[in-house]
Structure 1
Amino acid sequence: MTPDALMIFAAGFGTRMGALTADMPKPLITVAGRALLDHALDLADAAGPGRIVVNTHYRGDQIAAHLADRPAIALSHEDVILETGGGLRKALPLLGAGPVFTLNSDAVWTGPNPLITLRGGWRAGMGALLLLAPPDALRGHSGQGDFRMDAQGRISRCPKGEAGLVYLGAQILDPAGLQDFDETAFSLNRLWDRMIVQGRAFGILHPGGWCDVGRPEGIAEAEAMLRGAGDVF
């Protein structure tokens, strides 16, 4: 089944942003004159999924107000932080059946639209398709990657000390297995690890630019990247 629903994660506290998120949720911080959430929605608008869901928690009323002129976007408000796995599971009634795109709202991209890249790489039988890149191709990111990828595109966890590939916060996922976890709040890493064992977790490389805007200094880095390379096409 071709994915036709997108979940944008926008519920976090953004504590690494310090004072910038004291009175504002991180997805509304501006980069190059536009809110981070709007950069994510630009990708969605170009890829054209039939349903878009944004989850909220911290300062969720501000995100709701920001999206007031886009009533087709559904909001999944979380009274407590559910993490990525719990948040996606809560939103499933709004997303509908079948595989879904998920996209973090705290990064800026250049090059091919990540959602279109993922759609082109999705195949029957996959459980997850993660968008990846080597650490030295990224901005605003420190540390090593988490995954290695074989010639068929299957991913596995990267051994400690190996550079690996970084997950960029965009994927297609079959969410059916989320119902198997007893915890209310849990990470999607739990589902990925199960799919890795099953041989159903795959990766695909993003050939363009990517900048994490998780810290204040990431704003200037992202703006410099956009000036130098143009936006996503």
Structure 2
Amino acid sequence: MKITQAMVLAAGLGTRMRPITDTIPKPLVKISGKAMIDYALEALAEAGVETVVVNVHHHADQMEAHLGACPGIDIRISDERDRLMDSGGGLVKGLKRLSPSPAFVMNADLFWIGEPEHELSNLRQLAAMFDPQTMDIAMLCADPERTTGHNGKIDFSLHPDGRLTRYKAGDANPVIYAGALVLMPGFLADAPSEPFNLNIYFDRAIAAGRLCGLKLAGEWLTVGTPEAISEAEATIQRVSRGI
């Protein structure tokens, strides 16, 4: 399936990244010389995405200036300056700026590196996997053994048929939500207009047997604290050297 639109969730306060985020929004914190959100935007562009909605709140003017200078993608702003909408509410508001066709959704502060050359990228594989007839959400997942900066919490179990369920101790094939998914915007048609957490809809999809996962290729990184920056940069250097 070809997917040409996406939303990037980027409106968080980044409180654990203070004092850095006292003066800069977390998505613009640089990791190995590149703003975190640019890892997501580049992955989307490589996958063929043409239009991206980005929600903004904290240091919104800086976000708009940065995004306005990004070439090659039509970037639309979902303004949350007046009210943060949480992950679910922010997604619902932002998707109104896109068409009702399938869309990628990505977090601005989670990314991966080291995808194998001469293979489809993770996002292209996710798009190819997504079947709206049998899935509400197709989610990219990370192997806990190939992460940097993660707190150790396991989110889901990935079953042999590709279905995801909430992880319970002892479950086989534990995985972490990697901050990228595909859905049909209509799945959120009955969502409230108030702020809410997207996990409500993850659980709804699980209950219907329609939450599916794909394990990503490469190394997954999350940068939640100032100390995690050096860890992420060390991983990027290691992967770039092929170690």
TM-score under structure 2 length normalisation: 0.88
Of the structure 1 ranges 72-81 and 114-123, higher mean CA displacement relative to structure 2 is found in: 114-123
Q: For residue 198 of structure 2, what is the aligned residue in structure 1?
A: 188
Q: Does 1:220 align with 2:225?
A: no
User: How much identity, in percent, do the aligned residues show?
Assistant: 39
Which segments of structure 1 move beyond 6 Å, counting only runs of 4 or more?
A: none
Aligned length: 231
**Deviation for aligned residue 1:165:** 1.1
- Aligned equivalent of 1:96: 99
Unaligned runs of 5+ in 1: none
Partner SS, residue 67 of structure 1: helix
C-alpha distance after superposition, 1:160-205 (max 9, x if no partner):
5658211010111223232323351111111111111111110000
Q: Which secondary structure does the structure 2 equivalent of 1:180 belong to? A: coil
Amino acid at match of 2:61: D
Q: CA deviation at 1:121?
A: 1.8
Amino acid at match of 2:207: V
> Following the alignment from structure 2 to structure 1, what is the Cα–Cα distance between the partners of residues 21 and 170?
34
CA RMSD for the aligned pairs?
Answer: 1.9
Which one is further off, 77-86 or 108-117?
A: 108-117
Instruction: Using the TM superposition, name which of 55-64 and 115-124 deviates more.
Output: 115-124
Q: Is the 8 A contact 2:7 2:95 kept in 1?
A: no
Shift of 1:8: 0.8
Q: Distance in 2 between matches of 1:41 and 1:24?
A: 19
Among 129, 133, 141, the alignment partner of 1:121 is 129
- 1:66 equivalent in alignment to 2:69: no
> Residue 131 of structure 1 contacts residue 171 of structure 1 at CA under 8 Å; is this kept in 2?
yes
Amino acid at match of 2:182: I
Q: Which letter does structure 2 place at the counterpart of 1:216?
A: P
Give, in angstroms, the shift of residue 31 of structure 1: 0.7
Aligned to 1:36: 36
Q: TM-score, normalised by structure 1?
A: 0.92
Contact 2:53 2:95 in 1 (8 A): no
Distance 1:140 1:156, change over 3 A: same
Letter in 2 for 1:152: D
Distance 1:127 1:87 in 2: 18
- Pair 201,28 (structure 1): closer, same or farther in 2 beyond 3 Å: same
Tell me the SS of whatever aligns to 2:58: coil
Distance 2:202 2:75 in 1: 27
